[in-house]
């Protein structure tokens, strides 16, 4: 049982979700099943966390041949980077079943499937397997958005689906190209991610393959200028879907950059790192400034999420240990804080039946617990010292300054912009005069409060004592950067017209 | 000798079965339901025999029996399996289809079996005259099947178009055969190959012309650009099960003989690949552009059939004549056939009397009323679009891999772009089925057994095939 713990984490929810879809089970049973299965996932996740050794290489490895003629295996394994994204999913998803009690069967079933598929994408150690899960995790989102979304859900659904599939098909091309190159260089077929790092990629086709991967992930993250699907999808989606999209699925995009692009396309990555870093910074500032102007709080959170994803992606593009570690840490921090904020937004919307900031006011007077929890999650999201958000953003900005001073300075403004839109929104919604829509706003119930409490405590704990997390991340981060061979990468980047001129690429601690 | 005989058994069973079906059709007592079941029996038996043959690895050139005109290899055996399965599922969905459409007579199933004979022969043919004969056996039966509904103007239009153009294609094939014979002195693929290897391909104008004409005939039958225009009207005019049969069985047979002919000699193949390269790109994009504009489901599927022809041409471009196994082509044909047959099986019982539900809008809200049927259609569409973990995805994976391995990176890129475009019209039906309120109750689609069972089996096949690994 234990050697297949990752498979269990992947397929338990998927099978449960499919069974629910195929049988005429009622809502109650569906929610109960969903809750129990995702709670089982949480228990397994915590178990994995404590059994995980602080080392670089993959652990909990499983390997079964699937298509021997092409070297495609069902191989799984996690390292310090995937561990935290896996855990973020395991910790956050059970909350949905506790908070949303009246949804239909398909809603819960799709949530289960997406949970399993996301775990699969994170654990996959074979590129084809990764691609399969990557595509499968889109399908439940497609159905949830289209079936239970807001008024203009269909255009939003089409937009996100076509966008994402276009990206992933380009990635498929990249995957196959790397596989074929591996065959050409080593004489045997393989799509194993770890083996791929030995590959020597060069030439124009390698650049194309690199952009095939990068565009797919840039769409998923989303990175400027591929973010245009995000506001519509996040706003129209039902709360749980927005939550899944922002808290975990977007992170898988960043994770995939760390896992697939940095080690395999080290040369190309170094060449275009500055371009990518600028796109992260621009996206961060642009989405942040747009967030200030939003009149709809869910849309504002959507832009805020996009803005933070820009920072997280920036951490990966800086190619040094501080920034990368910060990125992975920030992935968890952002998953908890923004995820929780979207859940709060869902609760708010359920109770006041509006998403307009202007219609709300004075909620803090009648709902102090809600206001307190909201404030903590919000402050973590803007990166207040003492919360989880600070550690990650600090490390990323530190790394960014080492990489390129201008980028670092621009990245620093994220804190200011974040404060602008968040605090202003908080002031208008929670303080000021009570508006008709928010009159008699009910505070969190005991169940809701207890559901949020562990995550709120986690936010504070991670901010005050980040060491247990950082020491699990660092070995893997170091290994990933070491795969990008230091001397060669810098030489390549400098010789081939370095977009990174004048910056330092640091691959050792 | 007994082995040889066993390898021909599927063909014999289908042929005898076709004649028997024709004979029993003379009796009034035999209902069309019984004929359909008899046809399923024939195809089922032939399929099982073929399956038992496929497990062995014998390659039989029938030198003594047929003077080398027929060759049985693993490639033809698997192609035969796909064809027989297509015939089986077509009979199965026709059983339900003709409960709501009453232009059927018992001869219908005999024609399905006859055309399957032609297809099976076509896969094995290694000689141009037998290619022509088996192509005509297949086509004649298909012409009648397309125009079976004599009262229907659209069916009449379809058969007229198909017959006229098909006759031209047949004429091209004969002309090409004559020229090749004039240039080489033989119509056998093996001897043509030897002659080309000895004297070169482009030095012999009669051979070049002849091969070009033969290529035109094949491209017409598989509906590749620029011979694709007939497909839309013909597929639209034919009955749903027949359309499914044409789109799958016929395409499998013609692609099999196409591949067999193409790998006759490396210089000849290399010469044609340059043109097939552009043809496959144009086929994919023209098909996509036609499909995007359609409002009728059958017309969209016809156009998407053109796109899939384009993907198969990619696979053809990437084959090598030294180690030709054709496994990628067959895998894709199998995956595509399962999806297409599945959708047409579903349309057979969801279409209603006289195929009254035709457009995307007619299927709005299907998921609310018939959730399992809608899920099945969605799975078939996702398979055709190439979304994992379906068979269509694996097929696409193999095709793109073989294209990049053969150095055709540009072709792979165009293939991927084309599948991005095709997402739009596949998703459109899923969106209509799932995200809109039901406009009607689909009450008339409730009491069928065969076509829904067929749909269910094919859904299982979509996932089963995706798990089956092949050697590339």
Mutation for testing the B interface, residue in A147, A170, A180, A213 having most B CBs under 10 Å: A180
**Phi, psi (deg, nearest 5) at residue A384:** -75, 135
* Domain presence at residue A246: yes
**Phi, psi (deg, nearest 5) at residue B193:** -60, -45
Cβ of A162 and B423 within 8 Å?
yes
Cβ of A169 and B388 within 8 Å?
no
* Domain presence at residue B368: yes
pLDDT, tens only, B380-412? 999 999 998 899 999 999 999 989 888 888 899
Across the range B121-126, mean pLDDT stands at: 92
Q: What is the pLDDT of residue A508?
A: 44
Across the range A197-219, mean pLDDT stands at: 86
Q: Is the pLDDT of residue B249 over 70?
A: yes
Cβ of A147 and B400 within 8 Å?
no
Burial class of residue B467 in the structure, from the number of CB atoms within 10 Å of its CB (0-12 exposed, 13-18 middle, 19+ buried): exposed
The candidate with the shortest Cα–Cα distance to B244, out of B330, B297, B302, B309, is B302
Domain count, chain B: 1
The tokens 């059927």 sit on which residue?
A: B104
* Domain presence at residue B30: yes
pLDDT, tens only, B452-470? 999 999 999 999 998 888 7
* Domain presence at residue B430: yes
Across the range A306-310, mean pLDDT stands at: 90
Across the range B104-116, mean pLDDT stands at: 91
* Domain presence at residue A369: yes
Query: Residue A240, Cβ neighbours under 10 Å: how many?
Result: 25
> What residues of chain A have any CB closer than 8 angstroms to a CB in chain B?
21, 66-70, 72, 128, 131-132, 135-136, 139, 143, 146-147, 153-154, 157-158, 161-162, 165-166, 169-170, 172-173, 176-177, 179-180, 183, 205, 208
Q: Which residues in chain B have their CB less than 8 angstroms from residue A70's CB?
A: 401, 469, 472
Q: Is the pLDDT of residue A414 over 50?
A: yes
* Domain presence at residue A12: yes
Q: What is the pLDDT of residue A499?
A: 42
Cβ of B435 and A70 within 8 Å?
no
The tokens 């471009």 sit on which residue?
A: B317
* Domain presence at residue B157: yes
Chain A residue closest in CA terms to B393 = A132
Q: Which residues in chain A have their CB less than 8 angstroms from residue B288's CB?
A: none
Q: What is the pLDDT of residue B304?
A: 93
**Phi, psi (deg, nearest 5) at residue B127:** -155, 140
* Domain presence at residue A249: yes
Q: What is the pLDDT of residue B145?
A: 93
Q: CA-to-CA distance for B163 and B175, rounded, in angstroms?
A: 18
The tokens 């169940």 sit on which residue?
A: A447
Q: Band the pLDDT of B101: cuts 50, 70, 90.
A: confident
Q: Is the pLDDT of residue B58 over 70?
A: no
Structure tokens that stand for B243 in this block: 């359309």
Chain A residue closest in CA terms to B437 = A147
Structure tokens that stand for A406 in this block: 């201008």
CA distance B182 to chain A (A): 43
Q: CA-to-CA distance for B154 and B158, rounded, in angstroms?
A: 6
Q: Is the pLDDT of residue A501 over 50?
A: no
Q: Which of B404, B416, B469 is opposite residue A169, by nearest beta carbon?
A: B416
Cβ of B419 and A169 within 8 Å?
yes
DSSP letters, B379-429, are HHHHHHHT-TTSHHHHHHHHHHHHHHHTT-HHHHHHHHHHHHHHHHHHHHH
Across the range A48-68, mean pLDDT stands at: 84
Q: Is the pLDDT of residue A438 over 80?
A: no
Chain B residue closest in CA terms to A147 = B435
Structural domain harbouring A241: 2-495
pLDDT, tens only, A356-407? 888 888 888 888 888 999 999 999 988 888 888 888 888 899 888 888 888 8
Q: What is the pLDDT of residue B92?
A: 93
Q: Is the pLDDT of residue B149 over 80?
A: yes
Q: What is the pLDDT of residue B57?
A: 67
Structural domain harbouring B69: 2-467
Q: Which residues in chain A have their CB less than 8 angstroms from residue B392's CB?
A: none
Sign of CA dihedral A456, A256, A219, A118: negative
Q: CA-to-CA distance for B305 and B349, rounded, in angstroms?
A: 21
Q: CA-to-CA distance for A396 and A390, rounded, in angstroms?
A: 10
Q: Band the pLDDT of B472: cuts 50, 70, 90.
A: low
Across the range B417-446, mean pLDDT stands at: 88
Q: Band the pLDDT of B2: cuts 50, 70, 90.
A: low
Chain A residue closest in CA terms to B405 = A180
Domain count, chain A: 1
DSSP letters, B87-135, are HHHHHHHHHHHHHH-----THHHHHHHHHHHHHHHHHHB-BHHHHHHHH
Q: Band the pLDDT of A509: cuts 50, 70, 90.
A: very low
Across the range A340-363, mean pLDDT stands at: 86
Q: Band the pLDDT of A507: cuts 50, 70, 90.
A: very low
Q: Is the pLDDT of residue A491 over 70?
A: no
Instruction: Report cis status (omega within 30 of 0) of the bond before A225.
Output: yes
Poorest-pLDDT segment among A200-204, A315-319, B429-433: A200-204
Q: What is the pLDDT of residue A2?
A: 66
* Domain presence at residue A64: yes
The 3-class SS string of A208-244 reads: HHHHHHHHHHHHHCCCCCCCCHHHHHHHHCCHHHHHH
* Domain presence at residue B472: no
Q: Which residues in chain A have their CB less than 8 angstroms from residue B413's CB?
A: 173, 208
The candidate with the shortest Cα–Cα distance to A312, out of A286, A271, A277, is A277
Q: Is the pLDDT of residue A325 over 60?
A: yes
Q: Cβ distance B316 to B329 under 8 Å? A: yes
Q: CA-to-CA distance for A73 and A124, rounded, in angstroms?
A: 10
Structure tokens that stand for B166 in this block: 């098909």
Structure tokens that stand for B332 in this block: 């894709």
> What residues of chain B have any CB closer than 8 angstroms to a CB in chain A?
375, 382, 387-389, 393, 397, 400-401, 404-405, 409, 412-413, 416, 419-420, 423-424, 427, 431, 434-435, 469-472
Q: CA-to-CA distance for B274 and B440, rounded, in angstroms?
A: 51
Q: Give every CB contact of residue A263 below 8 A, 6+ residues apart in sequence.
A: A193, A196, A197, A480, A483, A484
* Domain presence at residue A458: yes
Across the range A3-19, mean pLDDT stands at: 89
């Amino acid at each position: 049982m234990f050697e297949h713990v990752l498979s269990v984490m992947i397929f338990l929810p998927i099978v449960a979700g499919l069974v629910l879809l195929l049988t005429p089970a009622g809502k109650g049973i569906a929610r109960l099943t969903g809750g129990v299965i995702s709670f089982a996932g949480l228990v397994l996740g915590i178990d994995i966390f404590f059994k995980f050794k602080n080392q670089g290489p993959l652990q909990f490895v499983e390997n079964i041949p699937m298509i021997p003629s092409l070297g495609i295996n069902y191989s799984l394994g996690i390292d310090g980077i995937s561990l935290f994204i896996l855990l973020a999913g395991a910790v956050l998803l059970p909350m949905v079943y506790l908070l949303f009690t009246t949804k239909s069967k398909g809603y819960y079933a799709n949530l289960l499937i997406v949970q399993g598929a996301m775990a699969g994408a994170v654990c996959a150690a074979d590129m084809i397997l990764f691609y399969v899960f990557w595509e499968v995790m889109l399908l439940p989102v497609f159905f949830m958005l289209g079936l239970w979304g807001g008024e203009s859900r269909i255009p939003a659904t089409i937009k996100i689906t076509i966008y994402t599939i276009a990206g992933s098909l380009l990635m498929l091309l990249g995957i196959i190209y790397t596989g074929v190159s591996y065959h050409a260089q080593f004489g045997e077929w393989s799509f194993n991610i770890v083996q791929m790092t030995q590959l020597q990629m060069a030439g124009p086709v390698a650049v194309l393959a690199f952009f095939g991967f990068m565009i797919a992930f840039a769409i998923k993250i989303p990175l400027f200028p591929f973010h245009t699907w995000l506001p519509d999808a996040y706003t129209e989606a039902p709360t749980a879907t927005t939550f899944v999209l922002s808290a975990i699925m977007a992170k898988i995009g960043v994770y995939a950059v760390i896992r697939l692009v940095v080690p395999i396309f080290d040369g190309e990555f170094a060449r275009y790192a500055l371009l990518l870093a600028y796109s992260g910074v621009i996206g961060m500032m642009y989405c942040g400034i747009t967030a200030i102007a939003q009149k709809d709080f869910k849309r504002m959170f959507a832009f805020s999420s996009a803005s933070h994803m820009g920072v997280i992606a920036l951490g990966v593009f800086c190619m040094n240990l501080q920034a990368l570690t910060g990125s992975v840490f920030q992935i968890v921090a952002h998953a908890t804080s923004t995820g929780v904020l979207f859940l709060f937004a869902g609760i708010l919307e359920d109770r006041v039946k509006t998403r307009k900031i202007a219609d709300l006011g004075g909620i803090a007077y009648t709902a102090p617990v809600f206001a307190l929890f909201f404030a903590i999650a919000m402050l973590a999201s803007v990166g207040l010292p003492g919360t989880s958000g600070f550690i990650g953003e600090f490390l990323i900005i530190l790394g960014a300054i080492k990489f390129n001073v201008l980028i670092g300075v621009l990245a620093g403004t994220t804190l200011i912009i974040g404060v602008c839109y968040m605090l202003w929104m908080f002031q208008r919604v929670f303080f000021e005069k009570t508006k008709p829509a928010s009159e008699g706003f009910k505070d969190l119930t005991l169940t809701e409060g207890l559901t949020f409490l562990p995550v709120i405590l986690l936010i504070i704990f991670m901010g005050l004592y980040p060491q247990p997390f950082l020491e699990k991340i660092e070995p893997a981060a170091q290994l990933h950067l070491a795969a990008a061979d230091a001397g060669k990468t810098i030489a390549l980047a400098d010789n081939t017209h370095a977009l990174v001129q004048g910056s330092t690429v640091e691959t050792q601690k | 000798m007994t082995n040889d005989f066993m390898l021909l058994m599927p063909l014999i069973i289908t042929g005898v079965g076709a004649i028997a079906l024709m004979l029993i059709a003379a009796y009034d007592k035999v209902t069309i339901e019984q004929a359909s079941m008899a046809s399923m029996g024939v195809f089922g038996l032939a399929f099982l025999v073929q399956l038992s043959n496929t497990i062995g690895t014998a390659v039989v050139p029938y030198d003594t029996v047929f003077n080398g005109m027929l060759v049985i290899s693993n490639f033809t055996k698997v192609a035969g399996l796909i064809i027989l399965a297509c015939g089986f599922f077509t009979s199965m969905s026709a059983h339900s289809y003709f409960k709501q459409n009453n232009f059927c007579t018992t001869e219908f199933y005999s024609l399905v079996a006859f055309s399957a004979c032609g297809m099976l022969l076509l896969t094995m043919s290694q000689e141009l005259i037998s290619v022509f004969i088996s192509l005509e056996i297949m086509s004649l039966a298909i012409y009648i099947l397309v125009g079976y509904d004599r009262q229907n103007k659209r069916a009449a239009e379809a058969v007229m178009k198909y017959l006229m153009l098909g006759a031209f294609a047949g004429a091209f094939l004969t002309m090409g055969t004559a020229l090749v014979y004039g240039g080489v002195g033989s119509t056998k693929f093996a001897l043509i190959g030897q002659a080309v290897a000895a004297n070169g391909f482009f030095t012999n104008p009669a051979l070049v012309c002849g091969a070009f004409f033969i290529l035109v005939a094949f491209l017409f039958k598989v509906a590749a650009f620029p011979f694709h225009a007939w497909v839309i009207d013909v597929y639209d005019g034919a009955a749903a099960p027949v359309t499914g049969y044409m789109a799958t069985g016929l395409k499998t047979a013609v692609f099999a003989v196409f591949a067999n002919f193409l790998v006759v000699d490396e210089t000849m193949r290399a010469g044609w690949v340059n043109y097939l390269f552009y043809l496959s790109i144009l086929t994919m994009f023209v098909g996509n552009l036609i499909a995007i504009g359609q409002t009728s489901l059958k017309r969209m599927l016809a156009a998407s059939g053109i796109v899939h022809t384009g993907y198969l041409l990619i696979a053809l471009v990437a084959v090598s004549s030294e180690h030709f196994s054709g496994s990628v082509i067959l895998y894709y044909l199998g995956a595509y056939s399962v999806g297409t047959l599945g959708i047409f099986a579903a349309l057979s019982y969801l279409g209603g009397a006289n195929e009254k539900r035709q457009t995307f809008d007619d299927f709005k809200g299907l998921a609310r009323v018939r959730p399992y049927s809608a899920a099945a259609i969605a799975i078939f569409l996702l398979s055709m679009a190439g979304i994992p973990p379906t068979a269509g995805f694996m097929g696409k994976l193999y095709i793109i891999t073989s294209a990049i391995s053969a150095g055709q990176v540009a072709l792979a890129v165009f293939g991927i772009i084309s599948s991005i475009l095709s997402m739009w019209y596949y998703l459109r039906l899923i969106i209509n089925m799932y995200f809109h309120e039901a406009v009607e109750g689909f009450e008339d689609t409730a009491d069928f057994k065969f076509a829904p069972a067929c749909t269910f089996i094919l859904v299982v096949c979509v996932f089963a095939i995706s798990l089956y690994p092949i050697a590339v």
